[in-house]
C-alpha cells in the first residue's frame, strides 16, 4: 500500500512540474504586461501537435523536435504579440482578453479542421527506471527533468542577462524603463514570445507522456489558471509551487473522497485565494 502511494505520488509530482512550466508562461505574460493570455490552451496544443508531427512524419527524436518547437513558439509569440496584443496593450483588460481569445478561436478552428478532435499518441517509450522499490516511467522522468531544466534556464535568462533585466524593468515600471532607453515594445514582444514558448514546450513535453488532442490544451489552461493564482499572478517561481500544490490535491484527495470532487476543491480554493490572498501564497502585498 505504502509503495503504491509513493509511486503514484511520485508519478503525479513528475507531471506537476510540467503543469508548473505551462503556468509559468501564463504568469510571465501577466506579470510583464497585465495581459491574461486566453490563447494559452491552444498554444499548449500547438506544442503537442508540433512534436507529434515532427516525430511521426520526420522521425525526429521528441526532444530534438521540442527544440525546434521552442524556436517556432518564440516566433509565433512575436507574431501574435504584434498582430493581436500590441494595439490593445494600454486598453482596458477586456480588449486584450478578447483579442487573445480571438487567437484562441483561430488556432482551435484551424486545428479542428485539419486534425479533427480525435486523440493522437506519440509512440515513444524510454522504458522505466527503478529506484529501490519503486519504478518511474522513463519518458515521464525525462519530461520532468526537461521541464526543470527549462525553468532553470528561464531563471538564468531573467536574472543574468541584459534582455532578462530589461524584461524585469519593463514589468516593474514601463514608463521609467522607457526613460532609461529600453525599447519597451520590443521587450514586451520578447516577453510574450517567451511566455508562448513556455506553453509550447510544456505542450510538447505533455505529448511525450499522455495522449493528445487539439482541445486538450483547454484543460491545461484551466489548470494553469489555478496554479498561477495559487502562486500569485505574475510570479514565475510561485507557478512551480502552485503546480506542486495542485499535484498534492490531485494525489491526496482521491484517497479520502471520490475523484470527481477534485475539481470542486481546486476551483473553490482558486476563488478563495483570489478573495483572501490575491497576491498568491508567495506574493507580497503591493
Q: Which residues pair with 136 in a beta bridge?
A: 129
**Residue 282, C-alpha cell as written in the block:** 508567495
Question: Shortest distance, CB of residue 125 to another protein, whole angstroms?
Answer: 32
Query: Residue 110: how many CB atoms within 10 A of its CB?
Result: 12
Question: Shortest distance, CB of residue 106 to another protein, whole angstroms?
Answer: 4
Of residues 44 and 150, the one with the C-beta less far from another protein: 44
Question: Shortest distance, CB of residue 28 to another protein, whole angstroms?
Answer: 15
Q: Which residues bind another protein (CB under 8 A)?
A: 30, 34, 36, 83-84, 87-88, 91-95, 97-99, 101-110, 112-113, 222, 225-226, 229, 233, 258, 260-261, 263-264, 266-268, 270-271, 274-275, 278
Of residues 104 and 151, the one with the C-beta less far from another protein: 104
Do 2 and 129 form a contact (C-beta atoms < 8 A)? no
Of residues 88 and 210, the one with the C-beta less far from another protein: 88
Of residues 108 and 212, the one with the C-beta less far from another protein: 108
Question: Shortest distance, CB of residue 92 to another protein, whole angstroms?
Answer: 7
Question: Shortest distance, CB of residue 200 to another protein, whole angstroms?
Answer: 19
Of residues 112 and 161, the one with the C-beta less far from another protein: 112
Q: Which residue has the cell 500544490?
A: 245
Question: Shortest distance, CB of residue 238 to another protein, whole angstroms?
Answer: 15
Of residues 183 and 278, the one with the C-beta less far from another protein: 278
Question: Shortest distance, CB of residue 7 to another protein, whole angstroms?
Answer: 27
Of 87, 120, 115, the C-alpha closest to 102 is 87
Of residues 71 and 252, the one with the C-beta less far from another protein: 252
Amino acid at each position: 500500500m505504502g509503495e503504491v502511494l509513493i509511486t503514484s505520488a511520485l508519478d503525479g509530482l513528475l507531471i506537476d512540474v510540467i503543469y508548473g512550466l505551462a503556468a509559468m508562461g501564463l504568469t510571465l505574460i501577466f506579470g510583464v504586461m497585465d495581459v491574461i493570455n486566453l490563447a494559452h490552451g491552444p498554444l499548449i496544443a500547438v506544442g503537442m501537435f508540433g512534436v507529434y508531427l515532427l516525430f511521426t512524419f520526420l522521425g525526429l527524436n521528441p526532444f530534438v523536435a521540442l527544440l525546434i518547437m521552442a524556436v517556432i513558439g518564440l516566433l509565433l509569440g512575436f507574431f501574435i504579440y504584434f498582430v493581436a496584443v500590441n494595439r490593445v496593450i494600454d486598453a482596458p483588460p477586456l480588449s486584450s482578453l478578447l483579442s487573445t481569445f480571438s487567437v484562441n478561436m483561430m488556432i482551435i478552428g484551424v486545428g479542428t479542421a485539419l486534425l479533427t478532435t480525435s486523440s493522437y499518441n506519440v509512440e515513444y517509450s524510454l522504458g522505466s527506471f527503478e529506484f529501490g522499490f519503486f519504478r518511474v516511467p522513463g519518458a515521464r522522468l525525462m519530461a520532468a527533468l526537461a521541464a526543470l531544466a527549462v525553468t532553470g534556464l528561464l531563471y538564468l535568462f531573467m536574472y543574468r542577462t541584459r534582455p532578462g533585466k530589461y524584461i524585469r524593468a519593463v514589468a516593474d515600471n514601463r514608463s521609467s524603463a522607457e526613460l532609461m532607453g529600453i525599447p519597451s515594445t520590443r521587450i514586451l514582444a520578447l516577453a510574450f514570445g517567451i511566455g508562448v514558448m513556455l506553453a509550447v514546450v510544456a505542450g510538447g513535453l505533455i505529448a511525450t507522456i499522455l495522449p493528445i488532442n487539439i482541445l486538450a490544451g483547454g484543460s491545461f489552461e484551466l489548470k494553469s489558471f489555478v496554479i498561477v493564482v495559487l502562486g500569485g499572478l505574475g510570479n514565475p517561481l510561485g507557478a512551480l509551487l502552485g503546480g506542486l500544490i495542485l499535484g498534492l490535491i490531485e494525489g491526496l484527495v482521491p484517497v479520502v473522497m471520490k475523484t470527481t470532487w477534485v475539481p470542486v476543491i481546486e476551483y473553490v480554493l482558486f476563488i478563495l485565494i483570489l478573495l483572501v490572498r490575491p497576491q498568491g501564497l508567495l506574493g507580497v502585498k503591493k
